[in-house]
Amino acid sequence: MLTKNQIYEAIVTDYTAEGQGVAHVEGCAVFLPNAVAGERVRLRIEKAQKTWAAGKIVEILEKSPHRVNRECPVAKLCGGCDFWHMDYEEETRLKAQRVKTCLNRLAGESLTDVPILAAPDCHGYRNKAQYPVAAKEGRAYAGFFRAGTHDVVENRRCLILPEETDAVKDAVMDYVNQFRISVYDEATHKGLLRHIYVRRGAVSGQILVCLVCNGEKLPKVEALLSRLQKIPGFTTLVLSVNTKKGNAVLGERFVTLFGPGYIEDTLCGLTFRLSPRSFYQVNHHQAQRLYETAIALAGITKNDTVLDLYCGVGTITLAMASSAGKVIGVEVIPQAVEDAKDNAKRNGIENAEFFCGDAGQAALELERSGVRPDVVVVDPPRKGLNADTIEALSRMAPRRIVYVSCDPATLARDVAMLKQRGYALQSATAADLFPKCAHVETVVCLCRKEIRS
């Protein structure tokens, strides 16, 4: 076991899933924030366990050519991004490498390379922000949580957000400070405003502002609206009531205070209605490329029935509808299903059906009722597929399964299970939807072995 506070010298060889550097000291893995692979560093042990330790770089002895000066002034404090200290070449290399390693180690593949769809722009790409608020010495401010804490790091201008989004935050905080609106304190469970949630359509420019409150009423709404209406694109103001303790940002209840309560955006040539509760990929340009890749991999023909599990507002489902005979989407959030149904209508799509429910259970029910999709698309949250979904997939035996994933480790675990049930991995592509952040998306195509089309 290494000793706390002791200084060691080591070489950074790899990265964790969270984007920290990994170095080895006396056979023990040491995790180092703000490290770049290939660097020789002096490090201090902050926390020592039997098989691993957490450390901090105290001096860089040999600097990587990929290290860059941080453009974001709060990058070191803010828990929002992970990679302002390295260039984009290294960032995309490590993301592609992570996908490859997961598939090779956990799914028994022997891929030599996984291509990555790199983002053309790392700035201003995020179409959604959730700012927690806090107060100190009588002044309220908003920002993002410091990594691993609930301390709010104030941030005037977040470089991965569009300027309009930060302008909304500033307008809300101006109103909060002028009218002495109380801000939520986790420790006492008192105070009104918890989070400022902003979603902006990358193409439409429409802005939805949702204030998450520990209460039912927002005072002086007119004064808030007069500030928000100065921001180009401001479309709707919604109150989300969250009176529960805990980490969930949004509450269960939504009250529309101004406008329609949703915004619209265009993606893959279709128009989508987006409610606050509905999932929508945060990087418009890269999401479109990801979906285009998924659609190409699906190899759909006009006679095919396509089942899209975890469909959200029906983005992938509806983008596939014109090439398919029929598309069916399944999603657990009722508001998202309402959006999806409305989106089908809005785009004049008549061969789409949507069901609200758990993906695995709905898929099993569809299978029992005789539905035999030719292609299944799955796009689950980080935890991946559950046993029901895997079971339903193997019973339905679609020709192809296109798996869109936001966690390469659970993806690889699920690919291994699908391989045991008669599927083979045909291709894997990583996509960078979150420049400067450690998350990476992947899309893979699995084919049923007897058919291999």
Segment (H or E) for 168: helix 163-178
Binding-site member from 331, 367, 432, 441 for ligand SAH (CB under 6 A): 331
State yes or no: is 406 an active-site residue.
yes
User: Which residue from 188, 246, 237, 184 is spatially nearest to 215, judged by alpha carbons?
Assistant: 184
User: Which residue from 228, 254, 129 is spatially nearest to 174, judged by alpha carbons?
Assistant: 228
Which of these ranges, 25-33, 151-159, 328-336, 420-428, lies near ligand SAH under the rule CB under 6 A? 328-336
Which two tokens mark 366?
């569809």
What's the CA gap between 45 and 6, in Å, rounded? 6
311 interacts with ligand SAH by CB under 6 A: yes
333 interacts with ligand SAH by CB under 6 A: yes
Binding-site member from 87, 154, 264, 358 for ligand SAH (CB under 6 A): 358
Nearest residue to ligand SAH, using CB?
A: 312
**CB of residue 333 vs ligand SAH: minimum separation in angstroms?**
4
310 interacts with ligand SAH by CB under 6 A: yes
CB of 280 or CB of 403, closer to ligand SAH? 280
CB of 214 or CB of 315, closer to ligand SAH? 315
CB of 84 or CB of 272, closer to ligand SAH? 272
Tell me if 373 sits within 8 A of 398, measured CB to CB: yes
What's the CA gap between 239 and 384, in Å, rounded? 31
CB of 354 or CB of 423, closer to ligand SAH? 354
312 interacts with ligand SAH by CB under 6 A: yes
Which of these ranges, 46-54, 156-164, 329-337, 440-448, lies near ligand SAH under the rule CB under 6 A? 329-337
Tell me if 380 sits within 8 A of 393, measured CB to CB: no
Cα 390-393-397 angle, rounded to 5 deg: 140
CB of 166 or CB of 308, closer to ligand SAH? 308
Tell me if 267 sits within 8 A of 284, measured CB to CB: yes
279 interacts with ligand SAH by CB under 6 A: yes
Which of these ranges, 164-172, 212-220, 273-281, 420-428, lies near ligand SAH under the rule CB under 6 A? 273-281
Binding-site member from 106, 332, 417, 424 for ligand SAH (CB under 6 A): 332
Binding-site member from 379, 407, 414, 432 for ligand SAH (CB under 6 A): 379
**CB of residue 94 vs ligand SAH: minimum separation in angstroms?**
24
Which of these ranges, 11-19, 143-151, 190-198, 310-318, lies near ligand SAH under the rule CB under 6 A? 310-318
User: Which residue from 141, 144, 140, 116 is spatially nearest to 130, judged by alpha carbons?
Assistant: 144
CB atoms within 10 A of CB 137: 4
CB of 228 or CB of 415, closer to ligand SAH? 415
Which of these ranges, 24-32, 41-49, 151-159, 276-284, lies near ligand SAH under the rule CB under 6 A? 276-284
Tell me if 282 sits within 8 A of 128, measured CB to CB: yes
Q: Kindly name the residue from 78, 102, 406, 445 that is annotated as catalytic.
A: 406
What's the CA gap between 389 and 391, in Å, rounded? 5
Q: What are phi and psi of 201, to 5 degrees?
A: -70, 125
User: Which residue from 410, 443, 438, 406 is spatially nearest to 426, judged by alpha carbons?
Assistant: 443
Cα 91-428-318 angle, rounded to 5 deg: 100
336 interacts with ligand SAH by CB under 6 A: yes
Binding-site member from 193, 224, 359, 444 for ligand SAH (CB under 6 A): 359
32-71 positions binding ligand SAH, by CB under 6 A: none
What's the CA gap between 130 and 181, in Å, rounded? 18
Tell me whether residue 440 is exposed, middle or buried, using C-beta atoms within 10 angstroms of its C-beta: 0 to 12, 13 to 18, 19 or more. Answer: buried
280-309 positions binding ligand SAH, by CB under 6 A: 280-281
Contacts with ligand SAH by CB under 6 A lie at 279-281, 310-312, 315-316, 330-333, 336, 358-359, 379, 381
Q: Which sequence positions are flagged as catalytic?
A: 406
